[in-house]
């Protein structure tokens, strides 16, 4: 059993670098399959989801090599078009490989994807986009069989700005015959980075960072080397961790412009922030001396407040001062962490899509269970503001998105460690973390 132990009530201070973005890396890895050659990605995070995607790519015939944080993908040959079910049930984002396999091989087979238990997250918009581009899809015993005589450019209008569906449509359109117009596209920074990578490979995509994307299909792509940006969700997690524990810290290697809404919440809660956004010198500095105040927040697609930081924010407000409220509009089951936070003494009331939080400090250390990636990270944040020791079991969920959450927080002075890990996470140096 994987566990993380957190001894709370120690102020944080120091400086750390932010790992490469999980949500940018995974679709970029999928994009490599479109090219019959080499794609090199730098600043790749060594996390479970990346290793899972590597497993998928190898299973369909790609050659993958991860040296430190540099991933080389050779997709010269594709030997099969079926995505193994064990990967799909472990990581939802693997479904975006359907579009690239249809573009490259004209067929794809996959089961319904899995991932965190945070809501239904249907893939109907994925299938809609592929059908609009000339794909025939049938379902048999929970398996999806997709085939096309050749993807065709089309006009796609999304009823909701789904990140995954937008990525699916973009990847499918790159090698399609003719032009594709995507309206109602998601605007998350990770989509912009995917489009810039594809353009670097020879694609023709315009309208980047808007809700209207235009893609002119090309016949082939070319070898490329591309740097993955820092992970804005990890940066937001550590920002809230510092606020929960108290103190000050500098977080380097992230684009501050991607965190405007997160910065707004931090300032409203009493944090002092400074940032710089220069090539090779971007950073965020956070300082807080008093307990954070409660606020009202609604999650929504970018540029709104990210649902991926809803659980960490809830943990922060639970250990704060006064009352606050979070309205969740993206994933209907993302309040699941509230019950675990209550075990630590948090006062949280759930009414449909709203969570009302009555802050108190300190929380109290207890044994809790991580049920999903961001909820697990939220429990670490709560542990930093809890008296005694908080034991977070099933912490393997956290390793899906955080390279070395204990090592990062230790660098800031936190007393947090891994215990009894059967398979330990990798650190940023690429070596296995020891039982500290």
Query: What amino acid positions are annotated as catalytic residues?
Result: 116
Q: How many CB atoms lie within 10 A of CB 347?
A: 14
How far apart are the C-alpha atoms of 117 and 334, rounded to whole Å? 8
Distance between CA atoms of residues 321 and 361, nearest Å: 8
Q: Are 418 and 433 in contact (CB under 8 A)?
A: yes
Cα 155 to chain centroid distance, Å, stands at: 28
Question: Distance between CA 123 and CA 31 in Å, rounded?
Answer: 19
DSSP class of residue 329 equals -
| Whether 258 contacts 209, CB under 8 Å | no
Cβ proximity of 278 and 268 under 8 Å = no
Hey, is 194 helix, strand or coil? helix
How far is CA 21 from each of CA 111, 190, 261, rounded to the nearest angstrom? Answer: 26, 8, 18
CA angle at 262 for the pair 49 and 192, rounded to the nearest 5°: 55
Structure tokens at 312: 């960490």
Instruction: For the beta carbon of residue 131, count every other beta carbon within 10 angstroms.
Output: 15
Contact (Cβ atoms closer than 8 angstroms) between residue 348 and residue 342: yes
Among 350, 351, 363, CA closest to 318: 363
How many CA atoms lie less than 13 Å away from 202 in the CB half-sphere? 15
Q: Which of 43, 6, 18 is nearest to 28 (CA)?
A: 43
Determine the Cα–Cα distance for residues 315 and 292; give it in Å rounded to an integer. Answer: 11
SS3 94: helix
In degrees and rounded to multiples of 5, residue 111 shows phi and psi of -90, 180
65: number of Cβ within 10 Å? 11
Return d(Cα 404, Cα 425) in angstroms, integer. 7
Distance CA 430, CA 403 (A): 9
């Amino acid at each position: 059993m994987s566990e993380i132990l957190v001894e709370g009530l120690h102020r944080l201070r120091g400086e750390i670098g932010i790992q490469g973005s999980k949500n940018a890396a995974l679709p970029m890895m999928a994009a490599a399959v479109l090219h019959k050659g080499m794609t090199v990605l730098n600043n790749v995070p060594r996390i479970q989801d990346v290793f899972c995607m590597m497993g998928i790519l190898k299973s369909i015939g790609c050659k993958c090599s991860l040296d430190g944080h540099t991933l080389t993908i050779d997709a010269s040959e594709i030997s099969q078009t079926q995505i193994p079910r064990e990967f799909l049930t472990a990581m939802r984002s693997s479904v975006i490989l359907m579009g690239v396999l249809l573009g490259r091989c004209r067929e794809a087979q996959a089961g319904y994807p899995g991932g965190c238990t945070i809501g239904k997250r249907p893939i109907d918009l994925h299938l809609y986009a592929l059908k609009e581009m000339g794909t025939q899809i049938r379902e048999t015993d929970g398996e999806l069989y997709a085939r096309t005589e050749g993807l065709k450019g089309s006009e796609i209008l999304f009823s909701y700005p789904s990140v995954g569906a937008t990525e699916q449509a973009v990847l499918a359109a790159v090698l399609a015959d003719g032009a594709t117009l995507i309206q109602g596209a998601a605007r998350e920074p990770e989509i912009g980075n995917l489009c810039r990578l594809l353009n670097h490979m020879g694609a023709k995509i315009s309208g980047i960072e808007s809700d209207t994307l235009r893609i002119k299909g090309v016949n082939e792509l070319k070898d490329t080397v591309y740097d993955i940006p820092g992970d804005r969700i990890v940066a937001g997690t550590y920002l809230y961790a510092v606020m929960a524990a108290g103190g000050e810290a500098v977080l380097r290697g992230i684009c501050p412009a991607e965190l405007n809404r997160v910065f707004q919440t931090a300032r409203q809660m009493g944090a002092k922030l400074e940032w710089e956004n220069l090539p090779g010198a971007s950073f965020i500095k956070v300082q807080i001396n008093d307990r954070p105040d409660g606020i009202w927040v609604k999650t929504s697609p970018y540029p709104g407040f990210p649902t991926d930081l809803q659980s960490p924010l809830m943990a922060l407000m639970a250990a704060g001062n006064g009352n606050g409220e979070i309205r969740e509009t993206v994933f209907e089951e993302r309040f699941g962490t509230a019950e675990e936070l209550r075990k630590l003494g948090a006062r949280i009331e759930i009414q449909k899509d709203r969570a009302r939080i009555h802050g108190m400090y300190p929380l109290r250390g207890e044994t809790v269970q991580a049920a999903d990636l961001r909820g697990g990270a939220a429990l670490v944040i709560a542990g930093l503001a809890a008296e005694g020791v908080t034991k977070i079991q099933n912490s393997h969920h956290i390793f899906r998105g955080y390279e070395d959450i204990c090592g990062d927080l230790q660098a800031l002075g936190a007393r947090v460690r891994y215990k009894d890990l059967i398979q330990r996470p990798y650190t940023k140096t690429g070596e296995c973390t020891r039982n500290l």
